[in-house]
């Protein structure tokens, strides 16, 4: 028997890290803000269409959002916020599907220049 371990199918492929920041707002008055949910759905759809590996995390706790280190001096009070590979790319409005696509493509290109994370 061989003790060689198989590598994961995404081994060596670039992984895009995406954070969707939003919380229950006074306008929506519900467990989920519909605007933040739409951004989440759109982002997942774009990732699927691009066929890329992505870690998508939804951050809903206002204190976590306020302390998020990737914001570096920027106060994200207007949600939703979209962070791609540690960089806030959009805040306070719902970006179009085309914009989300461009944000992710740009982050992948920037990651290749700087040596982004790979599995």
Q: Residues with catalytic annotation?
A: 33, 36
Q: Report yes or no: 71 and 79 within 8 Å, Cβ to Cβ.
A: no
C-alpha 60/C-alpha 111 separation (Å) is: 26
Q: Report yes or no: 44 and 100 within 8 Å, Cβ to Cβ.
A: no
C-alpha 75/C-alpha 80 separation (Å) is: 12
Q: Report yes or no: 22 and 81 within 8 Å, Cβ to Cβ.
A: yes
DSSP E strands, the chain = 15-21, 53-59, 81-84, 87-91
């Amino acid at each position: 028997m061989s003790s060689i371990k198989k590598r994961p199918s995404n081994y060596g492929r670039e992984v895009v890290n995406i954070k969707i920041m939003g919380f229950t707002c006074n306008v929506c008055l519900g467990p989920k803000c519909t605007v933040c949910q739409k951004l989440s759905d759109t982002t997942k759809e774009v990732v699927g269409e691009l066929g890329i590996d992505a870690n998508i995390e939804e951050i809903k706790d206002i204190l976590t959002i306020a302390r998020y280190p990737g914001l570096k001096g920027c106060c994200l009070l207007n949600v939703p916020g979209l962070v791609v590979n540690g960089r806030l790319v959009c805040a306070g409005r719902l970006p179009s599907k085309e914009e989300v696509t461009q944000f992710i493509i740009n982050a992948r290109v920037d990651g290749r220049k700087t040596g982004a994370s790979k599995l």
